[in-house]
Chains A and B, each alone.
Chain A
Amino acid sequence: MCLAVPGKILSITGDDLRSARVDFGGIIKEACLACVPEAEVGDYVIVHAGFAITRVEESEARRVFEYLESIGALADLEEPRR
Protein backbone atom coordinates (compact mmCIF):
# COMPACT_ATOMS: atom_id res chain seq x y z
CA MET A 1 0.00 0.00 0.00
CA CYS A 2 2.82 2.37 0.79
CA LEU A 3 4.49 1.16 -2.39
CA ALA A 4 6.25 4.13 -3.90
CA VAL A 5 8.62 3.90 -6.81
CA PRO A 6 11.53 6.10 -7.88
CA GLY A 7 11.32 7.53 -11.37
CA LYS A 8 13.04 10.21 -13.45
CA ILE A 9 11.20 13.41 -14.39
CA LEU A 10 11.11 13.77 -18.18
CA SER A 11 9.02 16.94 -18.47
CA ILE A 12 6.92 19.24 -16.30
CA THR A 13 3.66 21.01 -17.16
CA GLY A 14 1.44 23.45 -15.27
CA ASP A 15 2.46 26.39 -13.08
CA ASP A 16 -0.27 26.46 -10.45
CA LEU A 17 -0.45 22.68 -10.04
CA ARG A 18 2.67 21.10 -11.45
CA SER A 19 2.46 17.71 -13.08
CA ALA A 20 5.23 15.62 -14.64
CA ARG A 21 5.84 12.77 -17.03
CA VAL A 22 7.94 10.35 -15.03
CA ASP A 23 9.99 7.44 -16.41
CA PHE A 24 9.89 4.33 -14.22
CA GLY A 25 12.45 2.10 -15.92
CA GLY A 26 10.79 2.53 -19.32
CA ILE A 27 7.18 2.84 -18.16
CA ILE A 28 6.07 6.44 -18.38
CA LYS A 29 3.29 7.76 -16.14
CA GLU A 30 1.93 11.11 -15.05
CA ALA A 31 2.63 12.27 -11.49
CA CYS A 32 1.49 15.28 -9.47
CA LEU A 33 4.40 17.42 -8.19
CA ALA A 34 2.38 19.58 -5.76
CA CYS A 35 4.47 18.52 -2.74
CA VAL A 36 7.91 18.57 -4.36
CA PRO A 37 8.32 22.22 -5.47
CA GLU A 38 12.09 21.77 -5.65
CA ALA A 39 11.95 18.94 -8.22
CA GLU A 40 13.16 19.72 -11.75
CA VAL A 41 13.46 17.85 -15.04
CA GLY A 42 16.14 15.15 -14.68
CA ASP A 43 15.57 14.69 -10.94
CA TYR A 44 14.38 11.40 -9.49
CA VAL A 45 11.20 11.55 -7.43
CA ILE A 46 9.52 8.82 -5.37
CA VAL A 47 5.94 8.45 -6.57
CA HIS A 48 3.04 6.91 -4.65
CA ALA A 49 -0.41 6.61 -6.27
CA GLY A 50 0.39 9.20 -8.91
CA PHE A 51 1.77 11.67 -6.37
CA ALA A 52 5.45 12.52 -5.80
CA ILE A 53 6.20 12.38 -2.07
CA THR A 54 9.88 13.37 -2.24
CA ARG A 55 12.83 14.08 -4.46
CA VAL A 56 15.55 11.43 -4.15
CA GLU A 57 18.60 12.97 -2.49
CA GLU A 58 21.39 12.00 -4.86
CA SER A 59 24.11 12.82 -2.38
CA GLU A 60 22.61 10.33 0.09
CA ALA A 61 22.01 7.54 -2.41
CA ARG A 62 25.38 5.85 -1.95
CA ARG A 63 25.18 5.87 1.85
CA VAL A 64 24.17 2.20 1.97
CA PHE A 65 27.35 1.18 0.18
CA GLU A 66 29.57 3.51 2.18
CA TYR A 67 28.07 2.09 5.35
CA LEU A 68 28.63 -1.44 4.12
CA GLU A 69 32.25 -0.61 3.32
CA SER A 70 32.79 0.83 6.75
CA ILE A 71 31.38 -2.24 8.49
CA GLY A 72 32.36 -4.70 5.75
CA ALA A 73 36.00 -4.34 6.64
CA LEU A 74 35.19 -5.03 10.26
CA ALA A 75 33.04 -8.04 9.47
CA ASP A 76 35.77 -9.52 7.27
CA LEU A 77 38.24 -9.15 10.13
CA GLU A 78 35.91 -10.59 12.73
CA GLU A 79 34.58 -13.53 10.74
CA PRO A 80 37.62 -15.88 11.14
CA ARG A 81 37.52 -15.49 14.91
CA ARG A 82 34.12 -17.12 15.16
Chain B
Amino acid sequence: MKYVDEYRDPRAAEKFARAIRSLATRPWKIMEVCGGQTHAIVRFGIDRMLPEQISLIHGPGCPVCVTAQETVDQAIEIAANPEVIFCSFGDMLRVPGSNRDLLAVKASGGDVRIVYSPLDALAIARANPARQVVFFAVGFETTAPVNAMAVYQAKRQGLRNFSMLVSHVMVPPAIEAILSSRECGVDGFLAAGHVCTVMGLEEYRPIAAKYQVPILVTGFEPLDILQGIYMCVRQLEAGSARVENQYSRAVRANGNLEARRLIAEVFRVVPRKWRGIGEIDRSGLALSAAYAEFDAEGRFSFARQAAPKASECISGSILKGLKKPSECPAFGTRCTPEMPLGATMVSSEGACAAYFRYRQRSAASPAGASRHF
Protein backbone atom coordinates (compact mmCIF):
# COMPACT_ATOMS: atom_id res chain seq x y z
CA MET B 1 0.00 0.00 0.00
CA LYS B 2 1.09 3.56 -0.68
CA TYR B 3 -1.76 5.05 1.37
CA VAL B 4 -2.97 7.43 -1.35
CA ASP B 5 -4.37 5.94 -4.58
CA GLU B 6 -6.08 3.05 -2.80
CA TYR B 7 -8.37 5.55 -1.16
CA ARG B 8 -9.43 7.11 -4.48
CA ASP B 9 -11.07 4.06 -6.05
CA PRO B 10 -14.17 5.41 -7.83
CA ARG B 11 -16.12 2.14 -7.55
CA ALA B 12 -15.61 1.99 -3.80
CA ALA B 13 -16.58 5.67 -3.60
CA GLU B 14 -19.81 5.00 -5.48
CA LYS B 15 -20.56 2.11 -3.10
CA PHE B 16 -20.16 4.45 -0.14
CA ALA B 17 -22.36 7.06 -1.82
CA ARG B 18 -25.04 4.44 -2.47
CA ALA B 19 -24.86 3.30 1.14
CA ILE B 20 -25.31 6.90 2.30
CA ARG B 21 -28.32 7.30 -0.02
CA SER B 22 -29.98 4.24 1.44
CA LEU B 23 -29.25 5.43 4.98
CA ALA B 24 -30.45 9.04 4.92
CA THR B 25 -34.13 9.58 5.62
CA ARG B 26 -34.03 13.21 6.80
CA PRO B 27 -32.09 16.36 5.89
CA TRP B 28 -28.75 16.66 7.71
CA LYS B 29 -26.12 19.37 7.66
CA ILE B 30 -22.56 18.20 8.19
CA MET B 31 -19.70 20.65 8.61
CA GLU B 32 -16.04 19.90 7.91
CA VAL B 33 -13.54 22.10 9.74
CA CYS B 34 -10.51 21.49 7.61
CA GLY B 35 -9.48 23.23 4.42
CA GLY B 36 -7.85 20.05 3.16
CA GLN B 37 -11.18 18.25 3.39
CA THR B 38 -13.04 21.19 1.81
CA HIS B 39 -10.58 21.06 -1.06
CA ALA B 40 -10.98 17.29 -1.53
CA ILE B 41 -14.80 17.50 -1.31
CA VAL B 42 -14.96 20.09 -4.08
CA ARG B 43 -12.12 18.63 -6.16
CA PHE B 44 -13.51 15.09 -6.22
CA GLY B 45 -17.15 16.23 -6.33
CA ILE B 46 -18.01 14.34 -3.16
CA ASP B 47 -20.85 16.74 -2.31
CA ARG B 48 -22.42 15.98 -5.70
CA MET B 49 -22.40 12.23 -5.02
CA LEU B 50 -24.56 12.65 -1.93
CA PRO B 51 -28.35 12.52 -1.73
CA GLU B 52 -29.94 15.95 -1.62
CA GLN B 53 -30.87 15.58 2.08
CA ILE B 54 -27.18 15.72 3.02
CA SER B 55 -25.54 19.11 2.75
CA LEU B 56 -21.88 19.66 3.43
CA ILE B 57 -21.04 22.98 5.02
CA HIS B 58 -17.51 24.29 4.87
CA GLY B 59 -16.37 25.63 8.25
CA PRO B 60 -13.44 27.81 9.35
CA GLY B 61 -10.89 25.11 8.52
CA CYS B 62 -8.24 27.21 6.84
CA PRO B 63 -5.74 28.92 9.16
CA VAL B 64 -4.65 31.28 6.40
CA CYS B 65 -8.27 32.42 6.01
CA VAL B 66 -8.86 33.08 9.70
CA THR B 67 -5.61 34.95 10.45
CA ALA B 68 -6.68 38.41 11.63
CA GLN B 69 -6.05 41.35 9.31
CA GLU B 70 -4.18 43.09 12.15
CA THR B 71 -1.73 40.20 12.27
CA VAL B 72 -1.27 40.31 8.49
CA ASP B 73 -0.55 44.04 8.87
CA GLN B 74 2.09 43.26 11.50
CA ALA B 75 3.66 40.71 9.16
CA ILE B 76 3.74 43.28 6.36
CA GLU B 77 5.39 45.82 8.63
CA ILE B 78 8.08 43.39 9.77
CA ALA B 79 8.67 42.17 6.21
CA ALA B 80 9.18 45.75 4.98
CA ASN B 81 12.04 46.23 7.46
CA PRO B 82 15.27 46.11 5.40
CA GLU B 83 17.10 44.24 8.16
CA VAL B 84 14.64 41.38 8.03
CA ILE B 85 14.38 38.17 6.06
CA PHE B 86 10.69 37.32 6.35
CA CYS B 87 9.81 33.64 5.87
CA SER B 88 6.30 32.32 5.34
CA PHE B 89 4.28 29.47 3.91
CA GLY B 90 3.36 30.54 0.37
CA ASP B 91 -0.38 30.80 1.03
CA MET B 92 0.04 33.86 3.25
CA LEU B 93 1.63 36.08 0.61
CA ARG B 94 -1.57 37.16 -1.13
CA VAL B 95 -3.73 37.58 1.98
CA PRO B 96 -4.87 41.21 1.94
CA GLY B 97 -3.78 43.44 4.81
CA SER B 98 -5.30 46.90 5.31
CA ASN B 99 -3.38 48.41 2.41
CA ARG B 100 -1.33 45.74 0.67
CA ASP B 101 -0.14 42.15 0.94
CA LEU B 102 3.21 40.43 1.55
CA LEU B 103 3.65 39.87 -2.16
CA ALA B 104 3.58 43.64 -2.67
CA VAL B 105 6.28 43.99 0.00
CA LYS B 106 8.37 41.44 -1.88
CA ALA B 107 7.74 43.22 -5.20
CA SER B 108 8.97 46.50 -3.71
CA GLY B 109 12.24 44.93 -2.59
CA GLY B 110 11.41 43.30 0.74
CA ASP B 111 13.25 40.04 1.44
CA VAL B 112 10.18 37.80 1.68
CA ARG B 113 10.89 34.10 1.22
CA ILE B 114 8.49 31.20 0.84
CA VAL B 115 9.59 28.21 2.88
CA TYR B 116 8.28 24.66 3.02
CA SER B 117 8.98 24.32 6.74
CA PRO B 118 9.86 26.57 9.69
CA LEU B 119 12.94 24.38 10.02
CA ASP B 120 14.06 25.88 6.69
CA ALA B 121 13.65 29.36 8.19
CA LEU B 122 15.86 28.23 11.05
CA ALA B 123 18.54 27.17 8.55
CA ILE B 124 18.26 30.59 6.87
CA ALA B 125 18.82 32.23 10.27
CA ARG B 126 21.95 30.16 10.87
CA ALA B 127 23.27 31.07 7.42
CA ASN B 128 22.55 34.81 7.86
CA PRO B 129 23.74 35.75 11.36
CA ALA B 130 23.76 39.48 10.55
CA ARG B 131 20.06 39.55 9.55
CA GLN B 132 16.91 39.11 11.61
CA VAL B 133 14.94 36.11 10.33
CA VAL B 134 11.23 36.04 11.16
CA PHE B 135 8.90 33.12 10.47
CA PHE B 136 5.15 33.74 10.14
CA ALA B 137 3.79 30.90 12.32
CA VAL B 138 0.17 30.36 11.33
CA GLY B 139 -1.63 27.06 11.49
CA PHE B 140 -3.82 24.66 13.40
CA GLU B 141 -2.64 21.99 15.84
CA THR B 142 -1.15 20.03 12.92
CA THR B 143 1.45 22.74 12.38
CA ALA B 144 2.07 23.51 16.06
CA PRO B 145 4.63 20.70 16.66
CA VAL B 146 6.94 21.71 13.80
CA ASN B 147 6.69 25.39 14.71
CA ALA B 148 7.36 24.49 18.34
CA MET B 149 10.36 22.44 17.23
CA ALA B 150 11.82 25.39 15.31
CA VAL B 151 11.67 27.63 18.39
CA TYR B 152 12.89 24.83 20.66
CA GLN B 153 15.91 24.33 18.39
CA ALA B 154 16.53 28.09 18.12
CA LYS B 155 16.79 28.25 21.90
CA ARG B 156 19.03 25.19 22.13
CA GLN B 157 21.30 26.61 19.44
CA GLY B 158 21.34 30.07 21.02
CA LEU B 159 20.11 31.71 17.82
CA ARG B 160 19.62 35.40 18.54
CA ASN B 161 18.45 36.40 15.06
CA PHE B 162 15.42 34.10 14.80
CA SER B 163 11.87 34.91 15.90
CA MET B 164 8.29 34.03 15.08
CA LEU B 165 5.13 36.03 14.51
CA VAL B 166 2.71 33.53 16.01
CA SER B 167 -0.95 33.36 15.06
CA HIS B 168 -1.82 29.76 15.89
CA VAL B 169 -5.45 28.68 16.14
CA MET B 170 -7.14 25.58 17.50
CA VAL B 171 -10.09 23.61 16.15
CA PRO B 172 -12.19 22.59 19.19
CA PRO B 173 -12.89 26.17 20.38
CA ALA B 174 -13.98 27.06 16.83
CA ILE B 175 -16.40 24.12 16.75
CA GLU B 176 -17.79 25.27 20.11
CA ALA B 177 -18.12 28.86 18.87
CA ILE B 178 -20.12 27.65 15.88
CA LEU B 179 -22.31 25.35 17.95
CA SER B 180 -23.08 27.98 20.55
CA SER B 181 -24.08 30.61 17.99
CA ARG B 182 -27.80 31.10 17.56
CA GLU B 183 -27.67 30.87 13.80
CA CYS B 184 -25.97 27.45 13.86
CA GLY B 185 -27.75 24.75 11.90
CA VAL B 186 -25.01 22.14 11.93
CA ASP B 187 -26.11 18.59 12.85
CA GLY B 188 -22.74 16.84 12.79
CA PHE B 189 -19.04 17.47 12.29
CA LEU B 190 -16.17 15.93 10.41
CA ALA B 191 -13.17 16.73 12.58
CA ALA B 192 -9.82 17.30 10.90
CA GLY B 193 -7.80 14.09 10.81
CA HIS B 194 -4.32 15.55 11.06
CA VAL B 195 -5.24 17.92 13.87
CA CYS B 196 -6.36 14.82 15.79
CA THR B 197 -3.22 12.94 14.74
CA VAL B 198 -1.43 15.44 16.96
CA MET B 199 -4.02 16.11 19.68
CA GLY B 200 -6.10 12.91 19.87
CA LEU B 201 -9.84 12.57 20.47
CA GLU B 202 -10.39 13.46 24.12
CA GLU B 203 -11.12 17.19 23.80
CA TYR B 204 -13.98 16.46 21.36
CA ARG B 205 -15.92 14.15 23.68
CA PRO B 206 -17.29 16.89 25.99
CA ILE B 207 -18.32 18.94 22.92
CA ALA B 208 -20.20 16.00 21.38
CA ALA B 209 -21.94 15.37 24.70
CA LYS B 210 -22.76 19.00 25.53
CA TYR B 211 -24.18 19.93 22.13
CA GLN B 212 -25.44 16.46 21.22
CA VAL B 213 -23.64 16.29 17.88
CA PRO B 214 -21.72 13.39 16.37
CA ILE B 215 -18.08 14.26 15.67
CA LEU B 216 -16.30 12.07 13.13
CA VAL B 217 -12.52 12.27 13.05
CA THR B 218 -11.96 11.87 9.32
CA GLY B 219 -9.09 11.56 6.83
CA PHE B 220 -8.52 13.42 3.60
CA GLU B 221 -8.88 10.99 0.72
CA PRO B 222 -12.27 10.57 -1.01
CA LEU B 223 -13.00 7.19 0.62
CA ASP B 224 -12.05 8.58 4.04
CA ILE B 225 -14.42 11.50 3.66
CA LEU B 226 -17.25 9.33 2.32
CA GLN B 227 -16.83 6.87 5.19
CA GLY B 228 -16.77 9.76 7.66
CA ILE B 229 -20.02 11.09 6.19
CA TYR B 230 -21.58 7.62 6.26
CA MET B 231 -20.64 7.12 9.93
CA CYS B 232 -21.91 10.60 10.79
CA VAL B 233 -25.26 10.03 9.03
CA ARG B 234 -25.59 6.65 10.70
CA GLN B 235 -25.20 8.32 14.10
CA LEU B 236 -27.61 11.11 13.19
CA GLU B 237 -30.27 8.68 12.00
CA ALA B 238 -29.86 6.67 15.20
CA GLY B 239 -29.97 9.79 17.38
CA SER B 240 -26.51 9.26 18.83
CA ALA B 241 -23.82 11.87 19.45
CA ARG B 242 -20.43 10.27 19.91
CA VAL B 243 -16.86 10.92 18.83
CA GLU B 244 -15.77 8.25 16.35
CA ASN B 245 -12.46 7.77 14.61
CA GLN B 246 -12.64 7.02 10.89
CA TYR B 247 -8.93 7.79 10.39
CA SER B 248 -7.48 5.10 12.65
CA ARG B 249 -4.45 4.52 10.43
CA ALA B 250 -3.15 7.94 11.50
CA VAL B 251 -5.05 8.94 14.67
CA ARG B 252 -4.61 7.33 18.10
CA ALA B 253 -6.96 8.20 20.94
CA ASN B 254 -4.26 10.17 22.78
CA GLY B 255 -2.77 11.72 19.66
CA ASN B 256 1.00 12.03 19.43
CA LEU B 257 2.30 12.39 22.98
CA GLU B 258 5.76 13.62 21.97
CA ALA B 259 4.20 16.30 19.78
CA ARG B 260 1.80 17.32 22.55
CA ARG B 261 4.69 17.61 25.03
CA LEU B 262 6.56 19.83 22.59
CA ILE B 263 3.52 22.09 22.10
CA ALA B 264 3.00 22.34 25.88
CA GLU B 265 6.67 23.24 26.35
CA VAL B 266 6.81 26.03 23.80
CA PHE B 267 3.28 27.45 23.61
CA ARG B 268 0.57 28.70 25.95
CA VAL B 269 -3.17 28.97 25.30
CA VAL B 270 -4.46 32.48 24.61
CA PRO B 271 -7.61 34.15 23.28
CA ARG B 272 -7.35 34.71 19.53
CA LYS B 273 -9.18 36.89 17.04
CA TRP B 274 -10.38 34.95 13.99
CA ARG B 275 -10.82 36.89 10.77
CA GLY B 276 -14.49 37.02 9.85
CA ILE B 277 -15.59 35.52 13.16
CA GLY B 278 -14.16 37.61 16.01
CA GLU B 279 -12.33 36.76 19.19
CA ILE B 280 -12.72 33.25 20.56
CA ASP B 281 -11.57 32.56 24.10
CA ARG B 282 -8.75 30.03 24.56
CA SER B 283 -8.62 29.41 20.81
CA GLY B 284 -5.02 30.34 20.06
CA LEU B 285 -1.45 29.51 20.91
CA ALA B 286 1.28 32.05 21.69
CA LEU B 287 4.87 31.49 22.83
CA SER B 288 5.18 30.57 26.51
CA ALA B 289 7.18 32.74 28.94
CA ALA B 290 10.27 30.53 28.58
CA TYR B 291 10.33 31.24 24.83
CA ALA B 292 9.11 34.84 24.87
CA GLU B 293 12.47 36.09 23.58
CA PHE B 294 11.62 34.48 20.22
CA ASP B 295 8.35 36.38 19.87
CA ALA B 296 8.55 38.79 16.94
CA GLU B 297 5.80 40.92 18.51
CA GLY B 298 8.20 41.78 21.31
CA ARG B 299 11.25 42.16 19.08
CA PHE B 300 9.77 44.69 16.64
CA SER B 301 7.72 47.81 17.21
CA PHE B 302 4.62 48.49 15.19
CA ALA B 303 2.82 51.58 13.97
CA ARG B 304 -0.70 52.12 15.23
CA GLN B 305 -2.92 49.66 13.44
CA ALA B 306 -5.45 50.61 10.83
CA ALA B 307 -9.00 49.46 11.44
CA PRO B 308 -10.09 46.73 9.05
CA LYS B 309 -11.53 48.24 5.89
CA ALA B 310 -15.16 47.75 4.98
CA SER B 311 -15.44 45.32 2.11
CA GLU B 312 -18.16 43.53 0.21
CA CYS B 313 -16.37 40.27 1.08
CA ILE B 314 -18.71 37.80 2.82
CA SER B 315 -15.94 35.47 4.05
CA GLY B 316 -17.22 35.80 7.62
CA SER B 317 -20.48 34.14 6.59
CA ILE B 318 -18.59 31.61 4.47
CA LEU B 319 -16.35 30.65 7.40
CA LYS B 320 -19.34 30.20 9.68
CA GLY B 321 -21.02 27.99 7.10
CA LEU B 322 -23.93 30.41 6.62
CA LYS B 323 -23.26 31.02 2.93
CA LYS B 324 -21.69 29.19 0.00
CA PRO B 325 -19.06 30.96 -2.15
CA SER B 326 -21.40 30.98 -5.15
CA GLU B 327 -23.88 33.11 -3.17
CA CYS B 328 -21.40 36.02 -3.08
CA PRO B 329 -22.08 38.68 -5.74
CA ALA B 330 -18.35 39.34 -6.12
CA PHE B 331 -17.44 35.66 -6.56
CA GLY B 332 -15.46 35.03 -9.74
CA THR B 333 -15.91 38.60 -10.96
CA ARG B 334 -14.60 41.26 -8.59
CA CYS B 335 -13.01 38.57 -6.42
CA THR B 336 -10.66 35.98 -7.95
CA PRO B 337 -7.48 34.23 -6.68
CA GLU B 338 -5.42 36.83 -8.58
CA MET B 339 -7.36 39.79 -7.13
CA PRO B 340 -8.85 38.45 -3.89
CA LEU B 341 -11.16 40.51 -1.69
CA GLY B 342 -10.81 38.08 1.18
CA ALA B 343 -8.62 35.29 2.47
CA THR B 344 -11.04 32.49 1.58
CA MET B 345 -10.26 33.26 -2.08
CA VAL B 346 -6.51 33.32 -1.44
CA SER B 347 -5.54 30.09 0.20
CA SER B 348 -5.73 26.94 -1.90
CA GLU B 349 -7.71 25.54 1.03
CA GLY B 350 -10.17 28.39 1.27
CA ALA B 351 -13.71 27.47 0.28
CA CYS B 352 -13.95 30.28 -2.31
CA ALA B 353 -10.66 29.30 -3.96
CA ALA B 354 -11.75 25.66 -4.12
CA TYR B 355 -15.08 26.61 -5.75
CA PHE B 356 -13.31 28.97 -8.14
CA ARG B 357 -10.83 26.32 -9.18
CA TYR B 358 -13.15 23.34 -9.53
CA ARG B 359 -16.62 24.74 -10.00
CA GLN B 360 -16.21 27.90 -12.07
CA ARG B 361 -16.27 26.25 -15.47
CA SER B 362 -17.92 22.95 -14.62
CA ALA B 363 -21.04 24.47 -13.08
CA ALA B 364 -23.11 23.73 -16.17
CA SER B 365 -21.73 20.24 -16.79
CA PRO B 366 -23.55 17.19 -15.47
CA ALA B 367 -22.86 16.12 -11.91
CA GLY B 368 -20.99 12.93 -11.22
CA ALA B 369 -17.77 12.66 -9.38
CA SER B 370 -16.26 9.47 -10.66
CA ARG B 371 -14.79 11.16 -13.72
CA HIS B 372 -12.74 13.41 -11.44
CA PHE B 373 -11.15 10.59 -9.49
Q: List 14 A-B contacts (CB under 8 A).
A: A1-B62, A2-B34, A4-B194, A6-B2, A48-B194, A49-B117, A51-B146, A53-B198, A54-B197, A56-B3, A64-B12, A67-B227, A68-B19, A75-B22
Chain B CB within 8 A of A57 CB:
yes
Q: Chain A nearest CB: distance from B196 CB in Å?
A: 10
Residues from chain B with a CB closer than 8 A to the CB of A48 are: 142-143, 146, 194
Does B36 lie within 8 Å of A2, measured CB to CB? Answer: yes
Residues from chain A with a CB closer than 8 A to the CB of B149 are: 32, 34-35, 51
Q: Which of chain A's residues has its CB closest to B119's CB? A: A50
Q: Chain B nearest CB: distance from A43 CB in Å?
A: 11
Q: Which of chain B's residues has its CB closest to A5's CB? A: B4
Chain B CB within 8 A of A25 CB:
yes
Q: Chain B nearest CB: distance from A39 CB in Å?
A: 11
Q: Is the interface of A mostly helix, strand, loop or mixed?
A: mixed
Q: Which 6 A-B pairs have the closest CB atoms?
A: A50-B117, A51-B146, A75-B19, A2-B142, A6-B3, A60-B249
Does A68 lie within 8 Å of B142, measured CB to CB? Answer: no
Digit string of B64-88 for contact with A (CB within 8 Å is 1, else 0)?
1000000000000000000000000
Q: For the complex, what is the distance from the CA of A65 to the CA of B227, rounded to whole Å?
A: 10
Chain A CB within 8 A of B91 CB:
yes
Does A51 lie within 8 Å of B145, measured CB to CB? Answer: yes
Digit string of A52-81 for contact with B (CB within 8 Å is 1, else 0)?
011011101111110110011011001100
Q: Chain B nearest CB: distance from A46 CB in Å?
A: 6
Q: Chain A nearest CB: distance from B37 CB in Å?
A: 9
Q: How many residues of B contact A (CB 8 A)?
A: 56
Chain A CB within 8 A of B45 CB:
no
In-complex Cβ contact of A68 among B116, B146, B227, B248 (8 A): B227
Q: Which of chain A's residues has its CB closest to B261's CB? A: A35
Known: A1-B349, A25-B2, A71-B230. A46 touches B194 (CB 8 A): yes
Chain A CB within 8 A of B267 CB:
no
Q: Chain B nearest CB: distance from A7 CB in Å?
A: 9
**Interface positions of B from 302 to 359, Cβ below 8 Å from A:** 347, 349
Q: For the complex, what is the distance from the CA of A63 to the CA of B21, rounded to whole Å?
A: 21
Which B residues contact A (CB, under 8 angstroms)?
1-4, 6-7, 12, 15-16, 18-19, 21-22, 34-36, 62-64, 89, 91, 116-120, 138-140, 142-143, 145-146, 149, 153, 192, 194-195, 197-198, 223-224, 227, 230, 246, 248-252, 256, 258-259, 262, 347, 349
Does A46 lie within 8 Å of B197, measured CB to CB? Answer: yes
Q: For the complex, what is the distance from the CA of A58 to the CA of B256, rounded to whole Å?
A: 17
Q: For the complex, what is the distance from the CA of A34 to the CA of B15, rounded to whole Å?
A: 40
Does A1 lie within 8 Å of B1, measured CB to CB? Answer: no
Q: For the complex, what is the distance from the CA of A67 to the CA of B230, rounded to whole Å?
A: 10
Q: For the complex, what is the distance from the CA of A51 to the CA of B145, rounded to whole Å?
A: 8
Does A53 lie within 8 Å of B249, measured CB to CB? Answer: no
Q: Chain B nearest CB: distance from A37 CB in Å?
A: 7
Residues from chain B with a CB closer than 8 A to the CB of A54 are: 197, 250-252, 256
Q: For the complex, what is the distance from the CA of A48 to the CA of B140, rounded to whole Å?
A: 12
In-complex Cβ contact of A53 among B19, B153, B192, B256 (8 A): B256
Known: A68-B12, A72-B19. A1 touches B139 (CB 8 A): yes
